[in-house]
């Protein structure tokens, strides 16, 4: 048995670790258990974990009602408050908040806890994978898996291969995504990768048009939706992602590229400060109440 074959066989037998029970973490968890995999889901905040359990249960019920998921997935998720619970997993998907210091600290902790053969995949929106890999003793086993939101309904994942990422790591990650029914686009490492390097600039410029009074949000989005055939314009997309998450991603891009065009325009920053974060709060650039 080759090393790659042995790795794939072990991945099938072992649970997959997920760190962070926010929107992305719960979505990744749902996709994994619907594919027949066991999950160890780590969320240190007890209140956040309780909310995540309810969101996951509701989403699974809806999926079953629509006939798109397995009839029984109970018992596939082990909830934990500490990364120490990941000491036996062979693959970890990190979905912590978009904060470089937090993620770097977490990768160092995972490196200490997890078996030497474990692969670490970050769901970061913009932080270069090389920066996270540098905090481990296994940079060849680190890559980025940029899932789209909502994870269970989005077919394609932006897979980020850093310079040190090995082919074995790529093979294991692509095999896992294939089991989830996901298509993949492999991109090189760098701030924001491909998607968010472009998308965040588009969102910032769209918000700037609103600030300037050149057009309202509905008009900006209508141009993209009706003229270009986009399912959602840039501001509706920002509302779906979560304006707080978009602002964090822009901050990383501004820091990493030195490009001030990634600064959040005043109206955008005011919405976040007032707690209007998009769909998840009922209001952002558009009203969802």
Structure tokens given for 51: 């909310």
Q: Is 230 considered catalytic here?
A: no
Catalytic residue among 81, 146, 276, 286: 146
User: How many C-alpha atoms does 69 have within 13 Å on its Cβ side?
Assistant: 23
Structure tokens given for 39: 């999950």
CA 26/CA 138 separation, integer angstroms: 26
Helices (H), strands (E): how many in the chain? 11, 8
Structure tokens given for 183: 């298509």
* 190-205 burial code (b ≥16 CB/10 A, e <16): bbbbebbbebbbbbbe
* 234-243 burial code (b ≥16 CB/10 A, e <16): bbbbbbbbbb
First-residue to last-residue Cα distance in the chain: 56
User: How many C-alpha atoms does 168 have within 13 Å on its Cβ side?
Assistant: 17
Answer yes or no: are the C-beta atoms of 179 and 37 closer than 8 Å: yes
CB atoms under 10 Å from CB of 70, counted, come to 13
Tell me the catalytic residues.
Answer: 146
């Amino acid at each position: 048995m080759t090393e790659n074959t042995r790795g794939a066989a072990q991945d099938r037998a072992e649970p997959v670790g997920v760190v962070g029970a926010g929107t992305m973490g719960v979505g990744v968890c749902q996709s994994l258990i619907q594919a027949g995999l066991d999950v160890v889901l780590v969320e240190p905040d007890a209140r956040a974990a309780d909310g995540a359990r309810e969101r996951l249960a509701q989403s699974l019920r809806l999926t079953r009602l629509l006939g798109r998921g397995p009839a029984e997935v109970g018992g596939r998720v082990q909830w934990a408050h500490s990364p120490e619970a990941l000491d036996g997993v062979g693959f970890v998907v990190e979905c912590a908040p978009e904060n470089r210091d937090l993620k770097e600290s977490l990768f160092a902790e995972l490196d200490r806890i997890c078996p030497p053969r474990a692969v670490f995949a970050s769901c970061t929106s913009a932080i270069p994978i090389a920066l996270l890999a540098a905090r481990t003793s296994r940079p060849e086993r680190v890559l980025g898996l940029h899932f789209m939101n909502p994870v269970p309904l989005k077919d394609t994942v932006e897979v980020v291969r850093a310079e040190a990422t090995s082919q074995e790591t790529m093979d294991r990650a692509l095999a896992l995504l294939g089991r989830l029914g996901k298509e993949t686009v492999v991109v090189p490492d760098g701030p924001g990768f491909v998607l968010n390097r472009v998308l965040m600039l588009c969102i910032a410029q769209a918000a700037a048009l609103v600030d300037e009074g050149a057009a309202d949000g509905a008009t900006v989005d209508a141009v993209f939706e009706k003229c270009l055939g986009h399912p959602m314009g840039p501001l509706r997309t920002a509302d779906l992602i979560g304006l707080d998450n978009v602002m964090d991603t822009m901050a990383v891009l501004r820091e990493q590229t030195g490009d001030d065009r990634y600064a959040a325009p005043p109206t955008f920053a005011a919405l976040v400060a007032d707690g209007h974060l998009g769909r998840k709060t009922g209001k952002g650039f558009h009203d969802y109440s």
